[in-house]
C-alpha cells in the first residue's frame, strides 16, 4: 500500500519493521538488506529520524555477527543523528546497544558507563519496552565481574518488568541468564529447570538464537556434572544449530550487501563532492565577472586596489579548496578500484574452486535419485563427498576472512590467549571430523598465555594443523609445541609427512603466487590459507616461517607476544 502511494517515509519505516522481524528470526542477512534499503530511502528524502533508526538497526545486526568495531561506527552515527534532531528515545537505545558491544568486548568500565546512562534515559522516558533489556545487560556485566548478588538483583528486576507485560519470551531470556549464575554457584538442579523452560519457550517462538544459548548452557551444565557424554550431545546440537543460523551462505550474502552498500555510499559522497566542485566553479566565475566590473569602474581608486587584493586572496583559498576536493575524489576513486579488485579476485576463486564440489554433489545426488548406486559405492562416494565438503568449508572460511582483510575491516582485538587450551580446542574439532585418524599431540605447557586477537590466532592454528593433516599419511603424527624466546612464544606445528620442495618453500607465503597442491589423500587446497596465516600473524606483531625436508615432514613456526 505505502509503495503504491509513493510515501517514502512510510516505506522506510516498513522496511525497518521487516528487518526487525527477520532479526528476531535470526535471519541476519535478510535483516541487513532491509535495514540498508530503509536507510537508502530515508537518505533520499533527508528523513533524519528514519536514517538514525536504520543505521541503529544495521549496527545491531553487525553486533550479532561479531563485527563490533564496525557496529560501533554505525551506532555513533545513529547517536549523532539522534542528538541533532533531539530524538531522546533514540539516544537511550544507542547507549544500551553500545554498552552491550563493550560488554561483549570485555571492556567493562565503558560498558557500565553506557548502560547506566541508558537506564537513566530509559526511566526518564518511561521506555518499558527496552528497560528489561538494559537490566539484563547490566546483570550480565556483573556476572562477568563475578558479582553474582548484583547480577541476580538485575535479572530479578528484569523478570518483574517482563511479568507485568506478560512477555514470555523476555522471561525465558532472563531465566537463561539466571541459570548461568546458578551453574556457577553449583545449584545444578535449579539451573536445569530454568534452562529447560527457556528451551521450551525458544522452540515455541522459533527463536533459534535463544535455542543455541540453551544448548550451550545445557552442555556446560552436563560438563560441570561430569556427564561428558550428555555434554557432547548438547554441544553437537549447539554447534549444528549455530552453523545453521550463521551459515556460510548467510555470511556471504551479508558480506556482498556490505560491499554494495559501501560502494553506493562512496558513489553518493563522490556525487556530493562533484556538485560542490561545480558550485565552486560557478561561484568563481561569478566573482571573476564582478571583479572585472569593479576594475573598470574604480580602476584608479584605492578601493579598487584593496578589492582586487581581497579577491585575489579569496581566489587562492577557493583554488586550494578545489584542489583538495579533486584529491579527495581521486582518493575515493582509488578506494573504489581496490574494492572492485577484491570483488573480482573473490568471485574468480569462488567460480574456480566451488564449481567442482557443487557439480560433484549434483552428480552424486542424481545417481542416488536414479538408484544407480550399490551400498558399497554409496559408502565410498559418501566418504569422498565428506572430503569435498570439508575442503569447501575451509575455502569459504578463508575466502571470507581474506576478503575482509583486503578491505581492512578486520581489526585487532587483543586479549590474553591460553595457548594450550586453544590447541586442544582445535584438536577436538578436527578429531571429530575423522580426518585420516591422525595422532594429535599437544606439547604446549599449561599456563602459556599469549597476547593477540583470539579469532586470528585460532584461524592460524586451524590452518596450520589442517595443512599438516593434509600432507601426512593416514594415522600420522602431528605435534604442536610452544617455547619461550624473550618476550615471545615460538609456536611450532610439526608433521612427519611428505615435506616441501625448496623451490616451493620460497613462494608459499607469497600473496601473488597463490600456490596450492593436493594432499596425500588427494585433498584440494585454496592457496589462501598460508597467506592468511602470514598476514594475521604480522598484524599481531609476530613472524611466521617454516623448515621442511622432502620425505621427512615439515615444521611451521610463528611467534606471538607473551601476555
> Between these two residues, 291 and 82, which has the higher pLDDT value?
82
Mean of the per-residue pLDDT values of the chain: 81
**Digit-coded pLDDT (tens) for 329-368:** 887 776 666 556 545 555 555 554 566 567 766 777 777 7
Set of cell numbers at residue 99: 554498552
Set of cell numbers at residue 42: 530515508
Residues of the chain by 3-state class (helix, strand, coil), percent to 5: 70, 10, 20
Beta bridge partners of 558: 491, 544
Section 428-449 average pLDDT: 86
Strand pairing report for 439-442 and 477-485: parallel
Set of cell numbers at residue 494: 610439526
Q: Which residue has the cell 575451509?
A: 394
pLDDT of residue 508: 83
User: Distance between CA atoms of 435 and 470, rounded to whole angstroms?
Assistant: 9
Q: How far is CA 421 from CA 170, 438, 480, 556, in A?
A: 34, 19, 12, 19
> Between these two residues, 524 and 264, which has the higher pLDDT value?
524
**Digit-coded pLDDT (tens) for 490-541:** 999 999 999 999 998 888 887 655 566 676 666 655 567 788 899 899 999 9
Q: How far is CA 494 from CA 20, 443, 520, in A?
A: 48, 11, 16
pLDDT of residue 267: 43
- The structural domains of the chain, with segments of one domain joined by +, span 2-209, 251-353, 411-562
**Digit-coded pLDDT (tens) for 98-134:** 999 999 999 999 999 999 999 999 999 898 888 999 9
CATH topology of domain 411-562: Heat Shock Protein 90 (3.30.565)
- Report the CATH superfamily, name and number, of domain 2-209: Tetratricopeptide repeat domain (1.25.40.10)
Phi and psi at residue 40, to the nearest 5°: -60, -45
Section 302-313 average pLDDT: 78
Q: How far is CA 251 from CA 246, 278, 303, in A?
A: 7, 40, 67
User: Distance between CA atoms of 184 and 216, rounded to whole angstroms?
Assistant: 15
Set of cell numbers at residue 355: 564449481
Residues present in the chain in total:
563
Q: 272: pLDDT confidence band, cut at 50, 70 and 90?
A: very low
**In the predicted structure, residue 150 carries a pLDDT above the cut 90:** yes
DSSP 270: H
**In the predicted structure, residue 163 carries a pLDDT above the cut 60:** yes
User: How many C-beta atoms surround the C-beta of residue 281 within 10 A?
Assistant: 12
User: How many C-beta atoms surround the C-beta of residue 351 within 10 A?
Assistant: 9
User: Distance between CA atoms of 13 and 37, rounded to whole angstroms?
Assistant: 10
pTM: 0.46
Contact between 527 and 516 (Cβ < 8 Å): yes
How many helices (H) and strands (E) the chain has is answered by 21, 7
Phi and psi at residue 475, to the nearest 5°: 80, 10
Most confident of 268-272, 304-308, 332-336, 506-510: 506-510
User: Distance between CA atoms of 448 and 418, rounded to whole angstroms?
Assistant: 6
Q: 254: pLDDT confidence band, cut at 50, 70 and 90?
A: low
Section 19-47 average pLDDT: 82
Contact between 112 and 90 (Cβ < 8 Å): no
Q: 418: pLDDT confidence band, cut at 50, 70 and 90?
A: very high
User: Distance between CA atoms of 231 and 52, rounded to whole angstroms?
Assistant: 43
Section 446-468 average pLDDT: 92
User: Distance between CA atoms of 232 and 250, rounded to whole angstroms?
Assistant: 26
Amino acid at each position: 500500500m505505502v509503495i503504491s502511494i509513493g510515501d517514502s517515509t512510510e516505506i522506510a519505516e516498513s522496511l525497518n519493521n521487516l528487518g526487525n522481524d527477520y532479526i528476531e528470526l535470526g535471519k541476519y542477512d535478510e535483516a541487513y538488506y532491509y535495514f540498508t534499503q530503509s536507510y537508502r530511502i530515508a537518505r533520499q528524502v533527508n528523513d533524519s529520524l528514519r536514517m538514525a533508526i536504520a543505521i541503529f538497526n544495521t549496527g545491531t545486526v553487525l553486533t550479532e555477527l561479531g563485527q563490533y568495531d564496525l557496529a560501533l561506527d554505525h551506532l555513533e552515527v545513529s547517536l549523532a543523528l539522534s542528538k541533532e534532531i533531539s530524538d531522546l528515545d533514540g539516544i537511550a537505545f544507542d547507549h544500551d546497544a553500545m554498552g552491550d558491544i563493550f560488554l561483549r568486548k570485555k571492556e567493562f568500565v565503558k560498558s557500565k558507563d553506557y548502560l547506566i546512562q541508558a537506564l537513566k534515559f530509559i526511566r526518564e522516558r518511561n521506555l518499558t519496552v527496552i528497560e528489561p533489556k538494559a537490566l539484563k545487560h547490566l546483570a550480565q556485566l556483573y556476572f562477568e565481574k563475578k558479582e553474582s548478588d548484583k547480577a541476580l538483583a538485575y535479572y530479578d528486576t528484569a523478570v518483574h518488568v517482563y511479568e507485568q507485560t506478560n512477555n514470555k519470551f523476555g522471561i525465558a531470556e532472563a531465566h537463561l541468564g539466571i541459570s548461568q549464575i546458578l551453574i556457577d554457584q553449583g545449584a545444578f538442579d535449579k539451573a536445569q529447570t530454568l534452562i529447560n523452560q527457556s528451551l521450551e519457550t525458544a522452540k515455541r517462538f522459533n527463536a533459534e538464537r535463544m535455542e543455541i544459548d540453551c544448548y550451550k548452557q545445557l552442555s556446560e551444565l552436563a560438563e560441570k556434572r561430569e556427564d561428558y557424554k550428555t555434554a557432547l550431545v548438547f554441544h553437537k546440537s549447539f554447534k549444528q544449530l549455530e552453523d545453521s543460523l550463521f551459515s556460510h551462505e548467510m555470511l556471504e550474502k551479508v558480506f556482498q550487501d556490505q560491499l554494495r552498500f559501501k560502494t553506493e555510499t562512496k558513489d553518493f559522497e563522490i556525487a556530493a563532492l562533484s556538485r560542490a566542485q561545480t558550485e565552486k566553479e560557478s561561484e568563481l566565475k561569478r566573482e571573476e565577472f564582478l571583479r572585472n566590473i569593479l576594475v573598470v569602474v574604480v580602476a584608479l581608486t584605492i578601493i579598487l586596489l584593496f578589492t582586487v587584493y581581497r579577491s585575489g586572496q579569496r581566489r587562492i583559498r577557493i583554488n586550494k579548496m578545489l584542489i583538495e576536493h579533486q584529491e579527495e575524489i581521486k582518493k575515493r576513486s582509488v578506494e573504489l578500484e581496490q574494492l572492485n579488485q577484491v570483488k573480482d579476485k573473490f568471485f574468480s576463486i569462488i567460480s574456480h574452486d566451488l564449481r567442482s564440489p557443487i557439480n560433484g554433489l549434483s552428480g552424486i545426488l542424481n545417481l542416488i535419485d536414479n538408484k544407480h548406486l550399490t551400498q558399497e559405492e554409496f559408502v565410498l562416494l559418501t566418504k569422498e563427498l565428506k572430503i569435498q565438503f570439508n575442503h569447501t568449508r575451509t575455502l569459504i572460511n578463508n575466502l571470507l576472512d581474506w576478503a575482509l582483510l583486503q578491505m581492512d575491516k578486520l581489526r585487532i582485538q587483543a586479549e590474553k590467549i591460553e595457548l594450550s587450551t586453544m590447541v586442544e580446542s582445535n584438536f577436538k574439532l578436527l578429531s571429530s571430523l575423522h580426518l585420516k585418524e591422525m595422532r594429535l599431540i599437544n606439547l604446549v605447557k599449561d599456563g602459556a598465555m599469549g597476547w593477540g586477537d583470539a579469532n586470528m590466532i585460532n584461524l592460524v592454528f586451524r590452518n596450520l594443523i589442517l595443512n599438516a593433516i593434509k600432507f601426512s599419511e593416514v594415522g600420522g603424527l602431528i605435534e604442536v609445541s610452544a617455547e619461550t624466546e624473550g618476550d615471545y612464544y615460538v609456536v611450532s606445528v610439526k608433521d612427519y609427512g611428505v615435506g616441501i620442495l625448496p623451490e616451493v618453500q620460497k613462494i608459499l607465503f607469497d600473496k601473488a603466487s597463490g600456490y596450492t597442491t593436493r594432499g596425500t589423500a588427494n585433498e584440494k587446497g585454496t592457496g589462501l590459507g598460508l597467506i592468511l596465516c602470514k598476514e594475521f600473524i604480522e598484524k599481531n606483531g609476530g613472524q611466521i616461517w617454516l623448515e621442511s625436508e622432502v620425505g621427512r615432514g615439515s615444521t611451521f613456526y610463528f611467534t606471538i607476544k607473551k601476555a
